Amino acid sequence: MSTDAQQNQTCLLEVIACTVEDAVEATRGGAKRLEIISRFDVGGLTPTLDLVREIKEKVSLPLRVMLRESEGYEVSGEAEIEKLSASARELNEIGVDGVVLGFLRGGDEIDFELTKRVLANAPNLKATFHHAFEEAANKFAAVEKLKKLAQIDRILAHGGREVWAEKISRLGDYATAAQPEIKILAGGGIDLQVIAMIRAGTSIREFHVGRAARREDAVDASRVTALAAALRESYD
């Protein structure tokens, strides 16, 4: 395999971390990027800035930090927007790799203007648009909208609620539509078997894991190691 081909095949494992201990274990296990959140039980909310700073001191991995103040994907008012914006400004100052966010309007349409407004507070950061994407009525129109925001370089997607064969086909279609501006980050029920299926059936090479990396509600380095090892397997 050529060097260029090998680079194109490079895989990346992103692990959710809710604590400093999670971050350290994920790093020991071989994660290549962390998503920092609070409230794992509700899909992730904005963590404290003190936690982000402490994790940044303890590990050298790129950090993407959740910006989400409530459990839904629609923002309730100006006060919530200001909280999101203030956190974005602070994270820009801290110098993390990026933020993770996703806003809807009307239940099934990407809130482009709100996304743009919040990201304007963190001009130095990249962004992942999270699973709110999967609630959009027209996913491919959503991709085209998100391409207009230069800071967004990842979309976290799971491909829907069908069997994995159908979800993986859909993820592949998303990846084709999103390139070259945006990469699809596959996540949502991802485990070793699913990673192998996605690798075989799509061009996707970035994987986001939560429960698969955890044991008794904390990240376990040995589980991360198993996932990372699977991603290092040769494509020859």
pLDDT of residue 85: 98
| pLDDT lower than 50: segments of the chain | 1-8, 234-236
Secondary structure class of 171 (helix, strand, coil): helix
Cα 146 off chain centre by: 15
pLDDT score for 9: 61
Q: Enumerate the β-bridge partners of residue 87.
A: none
Q: What is the pLDDT at residue 188?
A: 92
Short-list 169, 176, 224, CA closest to 198: 169
Distance between CA 117 and CA 214 in Å, rounded? 34
Any idea which fold 3-231 has?
TIM Barrel (3.20.20)
pLDDT for 40-77, tens place per residue?
999 999 999 999 999 999 999 999 999 999 999 999 99
pLDDT for res 210: 97
DSSP letter string, 154-218: EEEE---SS-HHHHHHHHHHHHHHHTTT-EEEEESS--HHHHHHHHHHSS--EEEESGGGEETTE
Domain boundary assignment for the chain: 3-231
